[in-house]
Amino acid sequence: KHHFSYNWWKYAAVVVLCWLGVDILFAVTAYRPPEEKKLELYVLNDFVTTEPLHDALWPQIQEYSPDQEELTVMNINISGDDMYAYMQFSTYVSAKQGDVCIMPRSEVNKLAVDGAEYAFVELTPYIESGVIDPKGIDLSSGMLKTEAGAEGLYAIPADSLSGLLDYGNDPAGSYLVMFAHGGNDDNAAVLLDLLIRNYHVDEPEDYKKPQESLQIPTTIF
């Protein structure tokens, strides 16, 4: 009794350390899908309810790309003044994370300033092969220049994806892109096509575009 009254904390510490050790072991050894079997969709242009959007897209991903094991939908709204949100996004980009992104025009310009091929995947081959159907969207504003000055389609205007309003997202002035570092391009193209297929709809009659979305810079497009 005297021993335990003075040494109980040692046994408690052993229990806690054992629990932490087991938890770390499971975390380190847990299975993680390889890059070619997972997709990450980043929504940067506005707020979005991620869980319903994920639940709508995931069954379709499994249908068209049955080898995929995971879909992540992440909302990092960098269109406001939240510096933490931009730092978070920059960290993910530096870590080469993300496959498909809905981003503001201004961010497309920033990432492509040294050459679009370093930031984004050229989308023309996927459109020509039928993987991506642009549904009559005017693609001219999505043309970007490479470092050598050659033009290519690296971004698709997302203004017409009014179906995203159902998830709290206003797509005005934003673009769909595929990150060059994604490592899962073919399946990312399927995801990008699903976004167009599902949410390219006529705008509601009472929908009003924000004034700033009409003032799109044309520096490198």
Tens-place pLDDT, residues 93-149: 999 999 999 999 999 999 999 999 999 999 999 999 999 999 999 999 999 999 999
For tokens 């698709």, the residue is: 156
3-state secondary structure at position 149: coil
Pairing of the two strands 174-178 and 100-104: antiparallel
Rounded distance between C-alpha atoms, residue 161 and residue 46, angstroms: 13
Calculated CA dihedral for residues 191, 90, 77, 138, nearest 10 degrees = -50
Crossing angle, helix 185-199 and helix 50-64, to 10 degrees?
120
pLDDT over 70 percentage in the chain? 84
- Specify the DSSP class assigned to residue 188: H
**Would you say 35 and 183 are in contact if contact means Cβ atoms under 8 Å apart?**
yes
Asked if pLDDT for residue 208 goes beyond 60, the answer is no
Rounded distance between C-alpha atoms, residue 221 and residue 215, angstroms: 14
Tens-place pLDDT, residues 170-191: 999 999 999 999 999 999 999 9
Q: Buried b / exposed e across 131-142, counting CB within 10 Å, b at 16+? A: bbebeebeeebb
pTM of the model: 0.80
